[in-house]
Structure 1
Amino acid sequence: MYELSDDEAEIVALVREFVDREVKPVARELEHANTYPRDLIEAMKQMGVFGLAIPQPWGEAAVSTPCYAAITEELSRGWMSLAGAMGGHTVVAKLLLTYGTRAQQDRWLPRLATGEVRATMALTEPGGGSDLQALRTTARRENTDDGEQYVVSGTKTWISNARHAGLVALLCRTDPGAQPAHRGISILLIEPGPGFTVSRDLPKLGYKGVESCELSFQDYRTPVASLLGESEGEGFAQMMRGLEIGRIQVAARALGVGQAALEDSLRYAQERESFGKPIWQHQSIGNYLADMATQLTAARQLVAYAARCYEAGRADLEAGMAKLFASETAMKIALDAVRIHGGYGYSTEFDVERYFRDAPLMIVGEGTNEIQRTVIARQLIARDRGARG
């Protein structure tokens, strides 16, 4: 389980109460209508959810990574889209805390902490997918009457919260000729403006309510001070560190979906009878429940371990393992929940069909699980070589 202080446990309990009282009664209707959950987002702002990663003097008080994971799981248990609404936001906050200049921190972090400004990150491109070093969005320097600026051109896709974000951490190429390629990649902190277009919302199987968009940049201009940190060419390494908390967050989202599916299955298996007894007493259904609970508990332990590793330092290997295992576990549990519910599991009048549609996002999001396995293997080899000198 997560290792939390008394204060953190109280925060998680508050979020759990919010989910049960405010989210679950409306999630199905909002999700089916693909309606942006404005009132729920406002409530999350009031609760301080968007400032969980931001310490004083810019925020109230940052929570530990295990606490952040536990809160993410609770939100996702109610409706995974709500956890998605604060995922990229937290990554950007962490990037600012770790790499931003003091001027960038002072400008953005207080407003990110309250949710006055929502943030997202723009990485994926139509032709690149998980190969971030192959990105084609460029930012060239140009002297103007208003001072030196970056002029950005390119396209991004699958950008969550793009229509509601006031700050975008844009991964782009500032030196197209750099070798190796990652040395020419930087992060720009940009705002909506002329030349920056949110072109369309992408239709999705699940993850409804929160938009995922295509972005286009055509001679978009932003001051040189928009560069995250002090030096160009550091964006790839910066974003890789940012994605560690992102993958822990996605893993925790998967836990929430799995927990919701398990809870619904436990309740249904006790209420539904066949052949004169509750269906949980049939061995096949009982076995499903036993496996679901065991696998979910194992996944939660791995996520908690990755969160502790992140607190202690770098967690690229552990975050990848947690994201891989938790997302695959959530997918299996969601399918088993459909099996347990039988025909009702296929009905839109029951939430398990939503869990089954939401679960695949965690498999392909924040780096596909195929990429995760590659990353894990490389880290294993690197650590083994390091251990052997």
Structure 2
Amino acid sequence: MAFEFSFAPEHEMFRRTLRGFLDEEIRPRIDDEFYDSEAFPWDLVTPMAEQGLFGVTVPPEYGGAGLGEIGYGILLEELAKVDTGLSTIVGAHTGICLAPIYLFGTEEQKERYLPPLCRGEDIGAFALTEPQAGSDAANIKTRAERDGDEYVLDGTKIYVSNGDVADTLMVSAVTDPALGARGGVTAFIVDSDWDGFEVSSKEDKMGIRRSTTAQIEFDGCRVPEENVLGNVGEGFIVALTALDGGRATLAAGSIGGATEALNRAVDYANAREQFGDPIAHHQDVQFKLAEMSTDITQARYATYHCLEYVEEYYEQIAAGEDVSKAFREKVSRRSAQVKIAASEMAAEVTEKACDIMGARGLAEGYGVEKGLRDSPIAEIYEGTNEIQRMIIGREVAQEGGYAW
């Protein structure tokens, strides 16, 4: 592969069209109307859905754009330049709800759920985390008891992005406690209008405020047998597969947020004069800008390279092919690596942008203070960076060193 990552013509066209739409229709409204609002931004989501931004990964036969994981990475990168909350909304919907339905769903499930999700008529969410099971996802307690041709769900899920507005959720629940996570957890497709489903609270967050986060209670929620996603007992594999892709595209979102911070800092440095010159002419500022640009470039190449692996991985699963254990582990490791690299880079770049802009970097309305509040979440959700380091370290030790 050449050092310069080469995008296909359809991806380049998608980026140009997307950037024009966001700059004309969405960015002005974020700055003027939604800067610090924590209400779900339906007035922004509706035009985004009309542009087909809620189903970019899915083939056209199910209502999607068929742009795959590279197109999805472009989408989250460009969205995060405008607002990380919007990229989180689309990420929770597409990467960890819609994607597993496409990858593991029956034909009936795909025909029923994918078209309205791709059109943005239905909003998707992913419910895995529980009060006692965050990084220790294998310790989930939500139960799904078999009762005839239904499963009865009881339990609590927390930190569910889109949870208060979702129509369709992918829910992980224990079906056989004796088998543990690798055989006793099953994934279910759950409709939010079913009896026994309740949004019990919403979080008031420091950052990503356009993305709403909810706690959900399942109290005797009856799920028909045909809504089991994948095979009974394979829910942990379904969740981990979705998260492998989610982490890589999350990295693309971090790159978008970092790029926006750099652009804001450059504009300010060229306009702000001290000692008779724009501060962009001062060596210490130039060094910061050079470091920021270099770090973004490195993370960007690694992320889109990883997304090529994810796309191949997902194509094999969708085609019903057997995926080798070695390739599955390689994708998990690569996605963990770019998640760490991009999320930590974004936090550092945003802090440097604030340093360059001084007091204005902390003032509302200039974009960088919002970035300071938004960027830390990427080091936490879809598996903390500490957990990612454990995954990488374990596999590198087993391989006896570094291997690409």
TM range, normalised to the smaller chain? Answer: over 0.9
SS in 2 for 1:111: helix
TM-score by length of 1: 0.94
Percent of aligned pairs with the same residue? 33
1:39 is aligned to 43
User: Residues 292 and 333 of structure 1 are in contact (CA less than 8 Å); yes or no, is this contact kept in structure 2?
Assistant: yes
Decide which of 382, 385, 396 is 1:369's aligned counterpart: 385
- Give the direction of change, closer, same or farther, for the CA distance of 1:2–1:25 in structure 2 (3 Å limit): farther
User: Residues 163 and 211 of structure 1 are in contact (CA less than 8 Å); yes or no, is this contact kept in structure 2?
Assistant: yes
Q: Deviations over 1:63-82 (max 9, x none)?
A: 03222111210011011111
The answer as to 2:125 corresponding to 1:83 is: no
How far apart, CA to CA, are the structure 2 residues paired with 1:181 and 1:355?
Answer: 36
The answer as to 2:103 corresponding to 1:98 is: yes
1:9 is aligned to 12
SS in 2 for 1:187: strand
1:141 is aligned to 146
Deviation at 1:386, TM superposition (A): 12
2:74 is aligned to 70
Q: Deviations over 1:216-263 (max 9, x none)?
A: 11111111111102x211010111111111101211110111010000
The answer as to 2:126 corresponding to 1:121 is: yes
User: Residues 53 and 93 of structure 1 are in contact (CA less than 8 Å); yes or no, is this contact kept in structure 2?
Assistant: no
SS in 2 for 1:150: strand
1:26 is aligned to 29
SS in 2 for 1:305: helix
User: Residues 175 and 184 of structure 2 are in contact (CA less than 8 Å); yes or no, is this contact kept in structure 1?
Assistant: yes
User: Residues 305 and 318 of structure 1 are in contact (CA less than 8 Å); yes or no, is this contact kept in structure 2?
Assistant: no
2:389 partner amino acid: R
2:376 is aligned to 360
Deviation at 1:60, TM superposition (A): 4.2
How far apart, CA to CA, are the structure 1 residues paired with 2:285 and 2:402?
Answer: 47
1:92 partner amino acid: C
- Give the direction of change, closer, same or farther, for the CA distance of 1:2–1:211 in structure 2 (3 Å limit): farther
CA RMSD of aligned residues (A): 1.6
- Give the direction of change, closer, same or farther, for the CA distance of 1:384–1:88 in structure 2 (3 Å limit): farther
SS in 2 for 1:33: coil
Deviation at 1:378, TM superposition (A): 2.1
1:376 partner amino acid: I
User: Residues 39 and 212 of structure 2 are in contact (CA less than 8 Å); yes or no, is this contact kept in structure 1?
Assistant: no
Deviation at 1:380, TM superposition (A): 2.2
How far apart, CA to CA, are the structure 2 residues paired with 1:149 and 1:345?
Answer: 54
1:334 is aligned to 350
How far apart, CA to CA, are the structure 2 residues paired with 1:302 and 1:7?
Answer: 21
SS in 2 for 1:51: coil
1:270-289 alignment, distance < 5 Å: 270-289=270-289
2:371 partner amino acid: Y
- Give the direction of change, closer, same or farther, for the CA distance of 1:113–1:33 in structure 2 (3 Å limit): closer
> Runs of 5+ in structure 1 lacking a partner?
none
How far apart, CA to CA, are the structure 2 residues paired with 1:88 and 1:26?
Answer: 22
Decide which of 354, 378, 381 is 2:397's aligned counterpart: 381
1:53-64 alignment, distance < 5 Å: 53-64=57-68
1:160 is aligned to 161
Deviation at 1:118, TM superposition (A): 1.4
- Give the direction of change, closer, same or farther, for the CA distance of 1:386–1:6 in structure 2 (3 Å limit): closer
How far apart, CA to CA, are the structure 1 residues paired with 2:399 and 2:310?
Answer: 17
User: Residues 156 and 216 of structure 1 are in contact (CA less than 8 Å); yes or no, is this contact kept in structure 2?
Assistant: yes
Decide which of 300, 317, 323 is 2:339's aligned counterpart: 323
Deviation at 1:181, TM superposition (A): 3.4
Deviation at 1:93, TM superposition (A): 2.0
TM-score by length of 2: 0.91
The answer as to 2:363 corresponding to 1:347 is: yes
> Runs of 5+ in structure 2 lacking a partner?
314-327
1:14 partner amino acid: T
Q: How many residues align?
A: 381
2:176 is aligned to 175
